[in-house]
Amino acid sequence: MVKNTDMSNKIKLYTAEDEHKEAAFIINEVEQLVGGFHNLTVGNKHTDSHYGFSDIAVLFRTRAVGSVLLSSFKKSGIPVRFGDAASFLADYPFHLVTDVIKWYLDAGDLIALDSVLTNGFKMSKNEKQVFLASHAEKKRFAALFGGQDLTKLGAENTVKFIFQKFIPDETLDDMGLIRKETLFNMAKEYGAALEQFLQQLLLDAYTDAGRLKTDAVHLLTFHASKGLEFPVVFIAGAEEGITPLQRKDVNIEEERRLFYVALTRAKDRLFITNARQRKGFREEEAKSLSGFVKEIPASLTETIQNKQSKPEQMRLF
């Protein structure tokens, strides 16, 4: 299954007691790889054999594994970008960003209009009918948004305006706040070019880490990592029931192929981690190492001995 690559380093294997200690191990390794405080002022390129945050990706098969990692990284202060294979613009409330812009640019876009009235302004069916009957097509946007000229605002300020209007920070979890930040970073690239920004959003699965230029560790599902490469890759949650998934409809060969995709994202260094126990839907569950990991020739791997977690670790921020 696994062929040797150009990596001069052996694949590092690490088994943690649980998912939280697994995350702590990965975070500690990331801190060492970027050189701690030393690397904060030198950008995201290699310096003195160290790496930048954006050189590092943490890959996982399921969103449940990714959520624990995301929470731990946020607590550590290490900058992260979270991505999955599906564009989050399809999800409420983020679709309001594109819907508002689409309606502004095309007053006749009835689908965008209905979404803004229903999901943004929370209008009932009767309220929508009254509103539509009371305002001509080209006057409706101004009636609701006070004549706000989104073209003059530009892409970045338009996104900020929409979030302030419909998506306050207190309604977002950690993942939602990261998605908001991702949108802001994208909007900055387009200045006043609002229509081009919208086209890019609609065409691009911008959760793809390859587009994110900011210096942050990439947290990605196996699916989202396709076509990308990183100098350093961690594969987390390498356990039976996670990779491969344990469901009746699972194709084991497809699961094996996905795992191989994750393995081959690494250019220089590859770490594979697993936990002896992990919280399931209701309680802690005992876990065993993925059979896919056992298929890797022993000559290509090196096991890292379990270390006791320090009560206080130096954090970057």
* pLDDT at residue number 203: 63
Strands (E), the chain: 11-18, 56-60, 80-83, 217-221, 230-235, 266-279, 284-286, 301-304
Distances in whole angstroms, Cα of residue 163 to Cα of each of 31, 53, 129, 160, 199: 33, 28, 26, 5, 19
Q: Distances from the Cα of 25 to the Cαs of 19, 36, 39, 82, 311, in angstroms?
A: 10, 15, 20, 19, 13
Query: Using CA atoms, how far apart are residues 274 and 237, in angstroms rounded to an integer?
Result: 5
Residue type, 14: Y
Residue 115 has pLDDT above 60, yes or no: yes
Using CA atoms, how far residue 38 sits from 17, 24, 73, 231, in Å, is 31, 21, 19, 19
What is the per-residue pLDDT across 25-80, written as a single tens digit (0 to 9) for each? 999 999 999 986 434 434 444 444 579 998 999 999 987 888 889 889 888 888 88
pLDDT (average), residues 252-277: 95
| Fold that domain 11-86+209-304 belongs to in CATH | Rossmann fold (3.40.50)
3-state secondary structure of 267: strand
Q: Are 51 and 34 in contact (CB under 8 A)?
A: yes
For the stretch 157-211, pLDDT in tens is: 999 999 999 999 999 877 787 778 778 877 887 888 899 888 877 765 444 433 4
pLDDT at 154 over 50: yes
| First-to-final CA distance of the chain | 41
Q: What is the pLDDT of residue 7?
A: 53
Name residue 234's beta-bridge partners.
Answer: 58, 271
Positions of CATH 3.40.50.300 in the chain:
11-86+209-304
Lowest mean pLDDT across 4-18, 80-94, 100-114, 245-259 = 80-94
Q: What is the pLDDT of residue 281?
A: 63
